[in-house]
Amino acid sequence: MVARAEFEGTVRRHGWAGGLARAFVVAVALIAIWQLVIVVFAPPPFMLPPPARVWRALVERPDLWRRDAVTTLIETISGLVTGALAGVALALVMTFVPAIRRILMPLLIVTQAFPVFAIAPLLVLWFGFGIGSKIVMATIAIFFPVASAFHDGLARTDAGLIDLSRLYRARRWQEILYLRIPDALPALASGLRVAAVYAPVGALIGEWVGASSGLGYAMLMANGRAQTDVVFAALALLAAMAVLVRAAVEIATRHIAPWAPETIR
């Protein structure tokens, strides 16, 4: 039993490494299929460049990973942190101030009917072509998943535990801090995992609408010049960045809620 517990603990601690390994295997398989399509169908390079040509674009265009990838990564992480904090704060307010929840929840649902791309031009107009509008875009993309997941977790705290805490005359802040929030952390972890996927997309959309650097900007410029190899190179960097951000969030959530069931974490 002890050996099994130690084994399961090791698997949980290093599960993110297994996820990266699986992502690497999938990437290799996709590249192999890609090369097979090139050999069998011989499409024009401007439609589907071979993997070697994309690799050459990465080598010959160091600005893609020195400048553009770094810019998009900063926007993604900043938006992820800002959106997560804002989502957590709003979830707490909506849970413990019912009047605000009744006002804000319908508004939040309505705002989700508008795609982020539709409001991107307005955000660029309001916040400029710099990094600020891209951070706001990423924040908006992940704000609702985090707020919704954490709010559901807070609202679903075991009623029996709440009654027990009140029986022992626990103060309101003690109920929130020591009961509701810990019980809702697995739900928050789930929301953060979803947010880790949406954040790069939000930043990329902002760069497509208006930017002077970033992977989205590089893709837009390369597409206008029919440099398909550069577009694929930027996509490869974006995919690698998304996997790394997702792995970082996975590590963080395992520390946030180590007691969560494996199906949730």
Condensed to tens digits (0 to 9), the pLDDT of residues 133-151 reads 999 999 988 888 899 899 9
The beta-carbon contacts of 247-252 under 8 Å, at least 24 apart in sequence, are 247/16, 247/19, 247/20, 248/196, 249/80, 249/192, 249/193, 249/195, 249/196, 250/15, 250/16, 250/19, 250/193, 251/16, 252/192
Q: Are residues 6 and 137 in the same domain?
A: no
pLDDT attached to residue 13: 52
In a domain, 264, yes or no: no
In a domain, 162, yes or no: yes
Q: Are residues 33 and 125 in the same domain?
A: no
- 152 token code pair: 């559901």
Q: Are residues 2 and 82 in the same domain?
A: no
pLDDT > 90? residue 221: yes
Q: Which residue has the tokens 């490869």?
A: 236
- What average pLDDT does range 232-244 have in this prediction? 92
CB neighbour class for 56 (10 Å; exposed up to 12, middle 13-18, buried from 19): middle
Q: Are residues 176 and 198 in the same domain?
A: yes
Q: Where is pLDDT greater, at 92 or 13?
A: 92
Give per-residue pLDDT as tens, 149-206: 999 998 888 778 777 887 777 787 788 888 888 888 999 998 998 899 889 988 999 8
Q: Identify the H or E element spanning 176.
A: none
Average pLDDT, the chain: 85
In a domain, 61, yes or no: yes
- What average pLDDT does range 41-52 have in this prediction? 91
- Tell me the pLDDT band of 83, cut-offs 50, 70 and 90: very high
- In the chain, which ranges are continuous DSSP H helix? 2-13, 15-41, 51-60, 63, 69-96, 98-111, 116-127, 131-155, 159-167, 172-175, 181-209, 215-224, 228-256
Q: Are residues 36 and 58 in the same domain?
A: no
Give per-residue pLDDT as tens, 11-46: 455 555 666 788 788 889 999 999 999 999 989 988
SS3 for 151?
helix
pLDDT attached to residue 169: 78
pLDDT attached to residue 97: 86
Domain count, the chain: 2
Domain boundaries, position 196: 54-256
How many residues are listed for the chain in this entry? 265
Whole-angstrom distance, CA of residue 84 vs CA of residue 73: 16
